[in-house]
Structure 1
Amino acid sequence: MISVHRLLARNTIASFLRHFINLGILFYLTPFTIAAIGDLQYGLWAVVLTVAGYSGLLDMGITTATTKLAAEYRSKGELDELNELITSSISLFTLFGAACLVAIMLFMPRYIASIDHGALGSESPLAISALIGIDILFVFVANIFTGIILSFHQFHMKSLIDITLGVLKLIATIVVLNAGYGLLGLAVVKLSVSVLSTIALYMVFKRQMPTHKLRLRMPAPAQMKRLINLGGKLFYMTLAIRLVDKTSPIIIVSTIGTIWNAYNSVVNRLATYGNEIVYSTTAAFMPVFSELYAQDDDGTARGLYLQYTRYVIALSMPIFFGVMVLGPDFVGVWIDPVYKEKGGAALRFLAGSFAIVGLQPLLGRLVIGRGDVGFYTKTMTIGLVLNILLSIPACYLGGITALAALSTVASLCFFSIFTVYLSRSFHISITDQLLRCYLKLAPPIAVFLLAFFLIDDRLPSNSYADVFLKAAILVAAYVPVAFVTMLSANERSRIWRMVVLRGRQAG
């Protein structure tokens, strides 16, 4: 049986590769899409996706709860309960997807028409809405298959599917936009990718559960109770997160104009992608924590938390700080200098916000894995609701830069609260967190920033080559210091032995 460390390494690397490759696809498609359809239509498309994204509120935390409970049932050998859980989840989410389809068909065409301002041209709001609505139905079903296969630690298969479909999406988007299909073409591509994803995920699911008969029927009361009990607690937090994410574009469009939503969408996407890489690569830990707590092995869970928090922040901080210091220059080359001018300051604040969140990369995985989510979800919900309420005056007063600064303040508050929470509820002392994770990070980050200030004025930033050269220099300065300070002597020795062994094998 594969060890927990090998399992985590395999799944984490697979998830990282998935996001890294899709990041490259995003970097190419974003400027291509903007050039093909224009700033105004791109801003409209971003708003359409935002409104459609509200359908995710019906998830109610059930996808995450399904993964947690499926891992728990599997670790205990409770296969009947696992089968009931799967049937209940799929039936429930099919119903949710159908409800979203109906709602979108009724309301989205009018909303698109109300904010169009000539961006759509001859394209039909009804056709775009229908495609988006059907897409959401498939996304709901795919989410449950994803939740189940992840409970079986099949992150590498999920990554393979997403990478393959990401490449297909790249090709299809180029074809349809070059053919002049605009937003309608984008909607067709989005739906096609979702259908293929659902089929592929189902095939992986059947490999893990070959005897399970897929059918829609009334959810089992016992499983519904457990799903709603855990998922309901996660729902308020998920609701608040989605509201912050999905409400910001609407606030921007309503207060300072649609074009500013295009600027914000680009810088927010770049900053968010770093956070998504970390979030995705840590997903493998939740089912592991769930299995450990199901077996009452709290000590191993705490040890894994501290050990891998140190590893993850050592690997992820160059991403966040790189976006913070080089992101505006990259946006100027990637999209247009106007986007750098209008969104550069906001990008730095957003990158700082996600860097703070990234200091506790396994927090949510640990909390959900144990199933005791009350304080965590209440704190997140209250903080995020306050963020939404403050977003409107912030946008009026300081535009998208003020919105991003508000996000940074919220992240600092969350970090402080949850540092204490980990100590009191999980017996992970503040001293251990500081000494074993955060203070070890100070030297490499100081070297990283010092290197940036030394080279920034000396090297230009007029091309991809210029920006990537700067990034390479900063990483080269960071890595050796991080290797010494973030790893123990035994860990460094193991890495050297592994490198030497692989070198001999290659020779």
Structure 2
Amino acid sequence: MEKSKKLILGISTSYIHSILNIGVNLALVPIILSSIGKLEYGIWITILSIVGYMGLLDFGVATATSKFLSENNTPNLPEAKKIISNSFTVYSIIASIVVVITVFLSFFLMRFFDIREDLLSISSIVFLLAGLNMALSFPSNVFGSVLFGFKDFFSFNIINILGVIVNAILTIVLLKMGFGIMSLAVVLLLTTFFVLFLRVVYLKKTMPDLFSNLWGFDRTIFFKILSFSGFMLVLSLGGQIVFNTDSIIIAKFLGISSVATYAIAFRMTQATTTFTYKISDAFFPFFSEFHSSKNKDKFVLFLFESTKFSIGLATILFLILIFLGKDIIGLWVGSQNFVGNLIFYFMALVALMGSIIRPGVMALKGMGKLKKIVLFNILEAFLNLFFSIFLVLKFGLFGVILGTFLAMFVTSFWLVPFTVCREGQISFKKYFFETIFMPILLGVCLMLPFLFFNFGMINNNWLIIIIKAMLLSIIYLFLFVFLCINKERRLFYMEKLRCFLLKKAIF
């Protein structure tokens, strides 16, 4: 299948998965809140944040596996089999370590937080199940990275879509049966097993030779993976501190109940990054391939396009959050669960900033040029930790998100675009103005007229909100196409879209 068709199929099915996943998760929140209450929901979010740190034991092996497999255009190479078997062996060992850590921590960890005695036992069991789910996810990631590395995005996304559907059905059924917070952990574990099962069955059928022997260790291959994955570990550490520590800090200093209010708003704003990240993430195997083949023109083209489209979409979603976010949360879970305008605006800004730097991060991963940004990523992570703890004592919930914003703004927000331009020998001025400045400027110009249009209008039903969001999106997209994309590229995309819809060869 041609690269562009694979990319289109990958992005389209990825967006279907994202829309379904976000829609299901958002729809489940009111059901979960009404079933278990704000306190137990806060416990659940806190447990997920703690267990998320065990994901650091991934060591970036999955990303490294995808990278090295994507550099080979055929799945029949002996080296590919060695990469897969080494990854599976390493992940199996890691999974065993996670199980031991989980069992050990389950005896006392939840006492660290101010949880009622009648909820301590159930919280410990839920933590145990969540940890076992994390352990099971490691071998599952091997098979997922194989699909992604060989650019079989369609199958990768379809399996994930089925997982979302199963998760939603089981969650509703078990909650209705009265299993409470326990049902969330059980469903999570069952869904991970279901996705693992589908990935194994599919790959055994389509690529049987690759999985003739999953157990194996090759010193050369191991250190090849480790040379890349070691830096991914450090980057993952930064990400965990930035996005998982907030809930733990809130639970410790402000109480478990405050976690739920913060998490509802943060989950909504971060849901927008799921859409924008899909664009740049789908380009990762191509960044890796073009860099390894020294095809600089294609690499630069894909970098510029992925950045421009990611930021364009992120700007639309940012404007929708700013103008309609409060009303959406009010209709979704009730206005009493809204975290406050200022906190919410900063959450939306953090999501926008993350979408701005994401394409550059994926390009650097594809190039294997991670050394230069690892130090700054860790700096951001620990600045976030320091700022959040210091500011939460002074400003409460607002201090937590302010710390996240300040840490990102003074480090990765500037470092990543500059580094990717330097490593790729690209003009920073051209990259910044063509891909970042113009889409953002367009959004800023639309803020005043939309503020005037939205002023005094009551957004008290979903129809009004949807109409406003669609109107804003259409206006922005129209201006984006004609102001941010040159005529040659517009004609190119129109032709590719026409060929795709008519099921003709794209090249």
| TM-score, normalised with respect to structure 2 | 0.92
Q: Is the 8 A contact 2:326 2:341 kept in 1?
A: yes
* 1:395 matched to 2:392: yes
> What is the 5 A alignment of 1:159-198?
159-198=157-196
| Residue 38 of structure 1: aligned partner | 37
* Residue 217 of structure 1, CA deviation: 3.5
Which whole-Å deviations, capped at 9, do the CAs of 1:78-135 have from their partners, x for residues lacking one? 8111111100101111111121112111212422355473386596445434422331
Question: Matches of 1:12 and 1:503 in 2, distance apart?
Answer: 15
Deviates most, 389-398 or 356-365: 356-365
1:421, distance to aligned residue in structure 2 (A): 2.0
> Which stretch of structure 1 is more off in the superposition, 210-219 or 63-72?
210-219
Q: Distance in 2 between matches of 1:451 and 1:91?
A: 58
- Give the corresponding residue for 2:409: 412
Q: 2:275: which partner in 1?
A: 277
Structure 1 residues 426 and 492, CA gap change in structure 2 (3 angstroms): closer
Paired AA for residue 255 in structure 1: F
C-alpha distance in 2, partners of 1:47/1:503? Answer: 45
Q: Say which of 293, 318, 338 aligns to 2:291.
A: 293
Aligned residue number for residue 8 of structure 1:
7
Aligned equivalent of 1:354: 351
Which residue among 470, 473, 484 is the counterpart of 1:472?
Answer: 470
3-state DSSP of counterpart to 1:284: helix
**378, 383, 386: which is aligned to 2:380?**
383
Aligned partner of 1:324 among 322, 325, 328: 322
Corresponding residue number in structure 2 for 1:151: 149
SS of match in other structure, 1:106: helix
Amino acid at match of 1:196: F
Q: Is the 8 A contact 2:86 2:215 kept in 1?
A: yes
- Contact 1:40–1:119 under 8 Å retained in 2: no
Counterpart in the other structure of 1:438: 436
Aligned to 1:19: 18
Cα 1:169–1:279, aligned 2, differ >3 Å: closer, same or farther?
same
- The aligned length equals 502
Q: Report the alpha carbon displacement of residue 417 of structure 1 after superposing the two structures with TM.
A: 2.4
CA shift at 1:25, angstroms? 0.5
Of the structure 1 ranges 245-254 and 119-128, higher mean CA displacement relative to structure 2 is found in: 119-128
Contact 1:91/1:218, CA 8 A, preserved across alignment: yes
Q: Does residue 66 of structure 2 align to residue 67 of structure 1?
A: yes
Cα separation, partners in 2 of 1:418 and 1:48, compared to 1, 3 Å: closer
- Match of 2:433, SS state, is helix
In structure 2, the residue corresponding to 1:282 is in which secondary structure?
helix
CA distance in 2, matches of 1:138, 1:491: 44
| 2:211 aligned residue | 213
Letter in 1 for 2:351: F
Show structure 2 runs of 5+ residues with no match. Answer: none
CA distance in 2 between partners of 1:92 and 1:319 (Å): 39
* AA matched with 2:295: D
Give yes or no for contact 1:447–1:477 (8 Å, CA) kept in 2: no
User: Does the CA contact (< 8 Å) of 2:66 and 2:148 recur in 1?
Assistant: yes
> 1:53 corresponds to which letter in structure 2?
G
User: Does the CA-based 8 Å contact 1:46-1:265 persist in structure 2?
Assistant: yes
Give the whole-Å Cα distance in 1 for the aligned partners of 2:168 and 2:162.
10
Is the CA contact 1:97–1:137 (under 8 Å) kept in the aligned structure 2? yes
> Between the two proteins, what is the percent identity of the paired residues?
21
Matched residues in 2 for 1:193 and 1:213: separation?
23
Match of 2:304 in 1: 306
Give the Å deviation of 1:153: 0.8
What is the alpha-carbon distance in structure 2 between the residues aligned to residue 502 and residue 147 of structure 1?
Answer: 27
Change (3 A) 1:76 1:195: closer
Shift of residue 270, structure 1, vs aligned partner: 0.9
Asked if the contact 2:388/2:402 (under 8 Å) is kept, the reply is: no
Of the structure 1 ranges 211-220 and 154-163, higher mean CA displacement relative to structure 2 is found in: 211-220
Return the offset for 1:18: 0.9
CA contact (8 A) 2:380 2:408 kept: no
Looking at structure 2, the residues matched to 169 and 77 of structure 1 have their Cα atoms a distance apart, in angstroms, of 31
Structure 1 position 314, deviation (Å): 2.1
The alpha carbon displacement at 1:463 in A equals 2.6
Conserved in 2, the CA contact under 8 Å of 1:318 and 1:475?
yes
Compare 18-27 and 214-223 and name the one that shifted more. 214-223
Distance 1:359 1:50, change over 3 A: closer
Task: Give the RMSD, CA atoms, in angstroms.
Answer: 2.4
1:200-279 mapped onto 2 (5 Å cutoff):
200-213=198-211, 215=213, 217-279=215-277
Within-5 A mapping of 1:95-114: 95-113=93-111
1:71, 1:291 within 8 Å by CA — same for their partners in 2? yes
- What is the alpha-carbon distance in structure 1 between the residues aligned to residue 361 and residue 463 of structure 2? 37
SS of 2:210's equivalent?
coil
Given residue 199 of structure 1, which amino acid in structure 2 is its aligned partner? F
The C-alpha deviation readout for 1:380-402, integer Å capped at 9, x for no partner, is 12222221122101111112222
**2:137/2:192 contact within 8 Å kept:** yes
Equivalent-residue separation in structure 2 for 1:93 and 1:183 (angstroms): 29
Going from structure 1 to structure 2, the CA distance change for 1:19 and 1:120 (only over 3 Å counts) comes to: farther
**What displacement does 1:231 show?**
0.6
Of 449, 452, 463, which residue of structure 2 is paired with 1:451? 449
Name the CA distance, whole Å, in 2 between partners of 1:430 and 1:486.
17
Do the aligned partners of residues 244 and 479 (structure 1) sit closer, same or farther apart at CA in structure 2, a change above 3 Å counting? closer
Which amino acid in the other structure matches residue 50 of structure 1?
S
